[in-house]
Amino acid sequence: MSPDGDRRAEPIKAIRLRHPGRIVFAIILLGALALFVIDASHREAYGWDNFAKYIFDKRISQAAFNTLMLTVYSMLIAIVLGITLAVMRLSENPVVKGVAWLYLWIFRGTPVYVQLVFWGLISTIYATIDIGIPFTAPWAVLQTKAVIDVFWLAVIGLSLNEAAYMAEIVRAGILSVDPGQEEASTALGMSWLQTMRRVIIPQAMRIIIPPTGNEVISMLKTTSLVTAIPYSFDLYGRARDISVVIFDPIPLLLVASAWYLLFTSILMIGQYFLEKRFSRGVGQARPDKKGGNDTDSVPLVTGAVPSVEIDRSEGGKG
């Protein structure tokens, strides 16, 4: 029965299904939110005048920049080290595998805060760094204190801890790629490095990116723990320093939180774009979604047949 048949059907008067419960719930929630906001704006304890005074303070924005730098450096080192460790764990060599396992065990088995306290005491444990052949006279003796700045201690502490978690994320990504891919690459004569670089890793990225984005966002907040070293020029540390002198901690905590929220929002948008890029060419095209290209008709790379036939033909089946 085609729509252009002889019998003209009356247009159906379609009324959307009403959800009165939703409306009531929404009103209650919005009411509670409004109540909270109005009360908070009048509450003295929040110290909104101090909040407004310090939110764009030079020291705070400088500290925010330091926090960003800590995050960026730590994550870069952690990702590189994490990939190395993941590959080590997947290796055939038992020694290499064991070393990687030991690293993961130690750095995941102790709290970040405790690790950072250790790094703060590193120059007490290792007063000098001697470069040379073991058990002979060293070629160079460096004073640990002079060589490693507190900022870099923070970066080292954070990145070594994060690398352990990144290693597991990367390993999950690599394991998620169908083993047939590796077999096919080997059959084609690709070396291990070529297989990894051109076949496995690009496919593994789809699984690696979302948790990695998560870790970057999480690292931004974990940098507040560097007060353990102590490195006090990050956002939380500087906000504390200001609140110590004015004896008003709450507005400064709100200032630090606002900045963390701002950076997290930017990172979340960045993650969205990154995920979009690595999901190209995957997934089924739907008539109601725009922008499919030819590869969309091949849903899964393993070659499994899609269960839904996409009907692109006009008119009815005859």
Partner 1 sequence: MRMRYSVLAVAAVAALALSGCVDNSTAPKDDGPSVNVGVDAAAVALLPAKIKDAGKLIIGMDPSYAPNEYKDDAGNPIGWDVELADAMAAKLGLKTEYQASSFDKIIPSITGGTYDIGVSSFTDTAEREKAVDFVNYFTAGVQWAQPIGKKVDPANACGLTVSVQATTYEETEELPAKSKACTDAGKAPLTILKFDKQDDATTAVADGRANAMSADSPITQYAVSKLKDKIELAGDSFEDAPYGIAVDKGSKLTKAIQAALQSMVDDGSYGKILDKWGVSNGGLKKITINAAANG
Interface with partner 1 (CB under 8 A): 45, 53-62, 64-65, 117, 120-121, 123-125, 127, 145, 228, 230, 232-233, 238, 240-245, 247-249, 259, 262-263, 265-266, 269, 272-273
If one counts every other C-beta atom within 10 angstroms of the C-beta of residue 54, the result is 22
Nearer to partner 1, 56 or 135 (CB): 56
Nearer to partner 1, 60 or 78 (CB): 60
Q: 162 with 74: CB under 8 angstroms? A: yes
Nearer to partner 1, 35 or 268 (CB): 268
Query: How far is the C-alpha of 55 from the C-alpha of 18, rounded, in Å?
Result: 45
Nearer to partner 1, 153 or 167 (CB): 153
Nearer to partner 1, 204 or 242 (CB): 242
Residue 157 C-beta: closest distance to partner 1, Å:
15
In whole angstroms, what separates CA 188 from the centre of its chain? 35
Q: 63 with 239: CB under 8 angstroms? A: yes
Residue 57 C-beta: closest distance to partner 1, Å:
5
Query: How far is the C-alpha of 190 from the C-alpha of 199, rounded, in Å?
Result: 10
The identity of residue 71, as a single letter, is T
Residue 30 C-beta: closest distance to partner 1, Å:
24
If one counts every other C-beta atom within 10 angstroms of the C-beta of residue 120, the result is 19
Nearer to partner 1, 71 or 203 (CB): 71
Residue 109 C-beta: closest distance to partner 1, Å:
23
Residue 170 C-beta: closest distance to partner 1, Å:
27
Nearer to partner 1, 111 or 306 (CB): 111
Nearer to partner 1, 68 or 78 (CB): 68
Residue 259 C-beta: closest distance to partner 1, Å:
8
Q: 206 with 279: CB under 8 angstroms? A: yes
**Separation in Å, CA 94 to CA 20, 99, 102, 308:** 64, 9, 12, 46
Strands 128-131 and 140-143: antiparallel
Residue 230 C-beta: closest distance to partner 1, Å:
6
Residue 145 C-beta: closest distance to partner 1, Å:
7
Query: How far is the C-alpha of 236 from the C-alpha of 230, rounded, in Å?
Result: 12
**Separation in Å, CA 191 to CA 85, 176, 182:** 20, 20, 10
The closest alpha carbon to 154, from 265, 40, 69, belongs to 69
**Separation in Å, CA 157 to CA 35, 121, 171, 246:** 43, 12, 22, 31
